[in-house]
Amino acid sequence: MMAAYNGHPPVDARFKRQRVKYDGAEPAGTIVVDTSEKFLYAVEGEGWATRYGVGVGEDGRTVKGKATIGRKADWPAWTPTASMMERKPRLVQYAGGVPGGPDNPLGARALYLYRGGKDTMFRLHGTNEPWTIGTEVSSGCVRLTNDDIIDLYDRTPVGTTVLVI
């Protein structure tokens, strides 16, 4: 039996990282995020992908369509956007930013989504709240467990295409 996190349940077994058959049309090296199913696929080609469970944006706030990994960060800093602070006034206390580290909401790694050379402000990132994997919880970013984002980060170069459906 898996241990709980500070009284929270462990990550549901179906959201654990695993290699799966993949029948999508995307080429190897593409990342596909299925927000309705709450899975991210790192397409490997020849009908295979590594599948990760994810937490996605609440109330349809997740970005949709194509983007590119424009930047990567190891233990990234985080600053809530103005719209996040407007929706959730409790975040104003972090307006000056939160340095990278284990208490940072972006977790161990972040992959920054860009369109047209500009930061979309959406990320694929880790979380210090792994019990949220498989839920609609974020302000629009895609969350993975810290172990999973480290694995994805290590296999994903800047320039990788991301398709969010």
Active site residues: 125, 141
Query: Distance (Å, rounded) from C-alpha 74 to C-alpha 61?
Result: 25
| Beta carbons of 149 and 129 less than 8 angstroms apart | no
Say which amino acid occupies 12. Answer: D
Helices (H), 40-145: 82-87
- Who's near 91: CB < 8 A, 6+ residues apart? 80, 84, 85
Paired sense of beta strands 109-115 and 118-125, if any: antiparallel
